[in-house]
């Protein structure tokens, strides 16, 4: 009776093949890395990088990928991808440069395997089964890190724009103006309230003129938040005068049942400033320009 050959467990076979691939990529390291750099140059993916940076980055990325293949762990790739994404965004690198560079490296590795195993298609198929999941995982890590970094930069820019779009201006001692322009969402409403309350405290303001001429619409949540802002300002010792309420917003506030009695409202910004000056005890005296000229003459 013929004795059947005992098959090695798949995991043991994959481990041996993985080690074989790692040894191959390390042996061909310089040739494959140079090939990768040349292809990226040809595609215009290295624009803005110095020769020293290209050398250092390509070595680090190449070795990081081989380490992931060898160990099956991706912590090093995640750390490097986050650092690369941060530096890439700050230096103005494009998505095409970063993701395109990783795709090119994946192709260089893949072609190297085709050349090595071209006489053994079964071995090539097994090698690709080991290599491709690792390459795709690294690519997804880099892409995700880059997208997250871009989103973080966008959030920071949006935050800066919101701060610029809701400036709290000091007109005179104890008098602030808060001109609000554009759509107000819940986040922005909360932000402008916090900003206003901080400024009331630091400037020791007694009156705030909140002008909403530039606000196109107010829903129930925002209306409620405006009332809360008025109440919170009172607790800080400041009276809020709301100006610039459009007919549409006025109808909305009435329909929503907002307690208008809690709000000091004036038609326009100029009228609001005049009322604020009265609160503070200032008296505006009109002068006759012609009389002043005659007096000077």
User: Would strands 169-172 and 239-243 be described as parallel, antiparallel, or unpaired?
Assistant: unpaired
Res 91: pLDDT: 60
Q: What is the pLDDT of residues 122-135, one digit of tens each?
A: 999 999 999 999 99
Give pLDDT, residue 244: 92
The pLDDT confidence band at residue 205, using thresholds 50, 70 and 90, is very high
Say if domain 169-279 classifies as CATH 3.30.750.24.
Answer: yes
8-35 per-position pLDDT tens digit: 444 557 889 999 999 999 999 999 999 9
pLDDT digits (tens, 9 = 90+) for 92-117: 677 788 889 999 999 999 999 999 99
Q: How high is the pLDDT of residue 192?
A: 86
- Minimal CA–CA distance to 184: which of 211, 154, 153, 151? 211
Domains 10-155 and 169-279 share a fold: no
Average pLDDT over residues 138-166: 79
- The band of 163, judged by pLDDT with boundaries at 50, 70 and 90, is low
Mean pLDDT of 191-216: 92
Q: Are 218 and 249 in contact (CB under 8 A)?
A: yes
> What is the predicted pLDDT for the residue at 6?
42
Looking at 63-161, which runs of residues are DSSP E strands? none
CATH assignment of 10-155? 1.10.490
Q: Write down the pTM of the prediction.
A: 0.56
CB-based burial label for 288 (10 Å; 0-12, 13-18, 19+): exposed
Assign 295 a pLDDT band (cuts: 50, 70, 90). Answer: low
Q: Could you read off the pLDDT of 36-57 as tens digits, one per residue? A: 999 999 999 988 888 888 898 8
Q: What is the structure's pLDDT at 17? A: 92
The full length of the chain comes to: 297
Where along the chain do its domains lie? 10-155, 169-279
- For residues 159-183, give the mean pLDDT: 81
Which region among 9-23, 179-193, 236-250, 282-296 has the lowest average model confidence (pLDDT)? Answer: 282-296
Report whether pLDDT(2) > 50. Answer: no
Residue 281 has pLDDT above 60, yes or no: yes
């Amino acid at each position: 009776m013929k004795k059947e050959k005992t098959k090695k467990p798949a995991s043991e076979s994959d481990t041996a093949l993985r080690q074989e691939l790692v040894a191959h990529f390390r042996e061909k390291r310089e040739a494959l890395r140079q090939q990768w750099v040349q292809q990226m140059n040809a595609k215009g993916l290295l624009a803005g990088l110095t020769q020293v940076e290209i050398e250092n980055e390509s070595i680090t990325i190449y070795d990081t990928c081989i380490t992931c293949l060898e160990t099956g762990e991706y912590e090093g790739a995640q750390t490097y991808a986050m650092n690369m994404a941060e530096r890439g965004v700050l230096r103005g690198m494009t998505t095409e440069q970063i993701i395109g560079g990783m795709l090119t490296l994946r192709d260089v590795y893949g072609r190297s395997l085709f050349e090595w195993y071209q006489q053994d298609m079964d071995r090539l198929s097994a090698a690709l089964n080991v290599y491709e999941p690792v390459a795709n995982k690294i690519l997804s890590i880099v892409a995700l890190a880059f997208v997250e970094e871009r989103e973080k930069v966008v959030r920071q820019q949006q935050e800066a724009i919101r701060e610029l779009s809701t400036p709290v201006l000091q007109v005179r001692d104890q008098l602030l103006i808060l001109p609000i322009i554009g759509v107000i969402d819940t986040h922005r409403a909360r932000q402008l309230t916090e900003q206003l309350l901080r400024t009331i405290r630091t400037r020791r303001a007694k009156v705030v003129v909140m002008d909403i001429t530039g606000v196109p619409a107010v829903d129930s949540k925002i209306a409620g938040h405006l009332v809360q802002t008025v109440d919170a300002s009172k607790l800080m010792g400041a009276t809020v005068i709301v100006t610039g309420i459009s007919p549409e917003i006025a109808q909305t506030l009435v329909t929503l049942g907002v307690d208008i009695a809690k709000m000091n409202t004036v038609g326009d910004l100029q009228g609001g400033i005049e009322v604020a000056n009265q609160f503070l005890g200032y008296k505006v005296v009109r002068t006759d320009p012609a009389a002043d000229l005659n007096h000077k003459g």
